Structure 1
Amino acid sequence: MDLAKIEKILKKEPDEAAEELLKEVEKVYGEVPYILNFMRDSPELLVSKIIYENAIVREFKRLDAKTVELISIGVAAALRCEHCLKLHIRVAQKLGVTKEEIFDAILIAGSLSNAAVLAEGTRAMDAEKLGLKDECEVCGIPEGKEKKD
């Protein structure tokens, strides 16, 4: 959505802008996601959410639509958001993404989720065993200093 279109939308009444944007979302997804329907009663929030998400997910052209949906599937699977996962699987299938490609995205998400659990858990174990104090503010890795009581 270019800036001129955003400006045009923002000049409308919030309810009217929200309904126009929801129609655009429905064209892309084939449906309106639950959370966006839920937000209809807060059109100011809904409009800004849709414009923001559209700029990230739909407007840049460095990734094609199939890749965006595979990333969305992986993230939804890792976050265990069943509703998002099902929605993005439906959209991916409409775009011609195969069952095998969808499964690969889920496998990758599972592998990374597993690695995150292991990394977090083992760092916490080491920190406690070694009596380390606070973690690094940037990366969360224990700083290696003894705890001060």
Structure 2
Amino acid sequence: MRNKKDILKLAESLMEDSRLTAALASAIERKNGRLGFLLAALKERPRTFNPYLLKGRSVYNPSVLDKKTAELVAVAAASALRCEHCLEAHMDRATQEGASLDEIMDVLLISGAISESSTLSVAFRKFKQKELKTKKQPKE
């Protein structure tokens, strides 16, 4: 059995392994037809690309949620964060996993309402802080 130091060295060597980068990129290209912009940029740095992609593979294969629900969650997040490329990719994947356009619309409406509430909440807190400071300032 390997000791902890050997395992860490192995993990670090895999992070930088350009063969792993090529294999992971090839798997994505076979599945999706191409690497998206973000992954293509990260591919130039295997030390970053490899752990990023492996983390993504673990996250996008949830242990409890079904794939359709996971993709609808991704649509909601992409919508709230205004990531056009992410929205397109995750709406496509959601429909591939069986989501209807009506389900996607519901997700967009809900995530939009939450996003709007979040924006207003942050803005109103800052406004109230400014209002309070203004009221506390002595009048000249």
TM-score clears 0.5: yes
Match of 2:115 among 113, 116, 132: 113
Matched with 2:95 is 93
Q: Contact (CA 8 Å) 1:33, 1:87: kept in 2 or not?
A: no
Gaps of 5+ in 2: 1-9
Instruction: Give the aligned partner of residue 35 of structure 1.
Output: 38
Which residue of the partner structure matches residue 126 of structure 1? 128
1:26 Cα deviation from its structure 2 partner: 3.9
Shift of 1:127: 1.0
Q: Deviations over 1:103-147 (max 9, x none)?
A: 111111100011001111111111111129xxxxxxxxxxxxx89
1:1-149 to structure 2, matched below 5 A, reads: 11=14, 14-26=17-29, 29=32, 31-58=34-61, 60-131=62-133
| 1:73-104 Cα distance to aligned partner (Å, 9 max, x none) | 11111111111110111111111110011111
**Which of structures 1 and 2 has the bigger CA Rg?**
2
Identical residues among aligned pairs (%): 27
Q: Please tell me whether the aligned partners of residues 16 and 50 of structure 2 are also in contact (alpha carbons under 8 angstroms).
A: no
Unaligned runs of 5+ in 1: 1-6, 133-145
* Structure number having the greater helix percentage: 2
CA distance in 1, matches of 2:31, 2:66: 14
Which shows bigger deviation, 107-116 or 120-129? 120-129
How many Å apart are 1:29 and its aligned residue? Answer: 4.3
Q: Is the 8 Å Cα contact of residues 29 and 91 (structure 1) preserved in structure 2?
A: no
Using the alignment, how far apart are the partners of 1:35 and 1:67 within structure 2?
A: 24
How large is the RMSD of aligned CA atoms in angstroms? 2.5
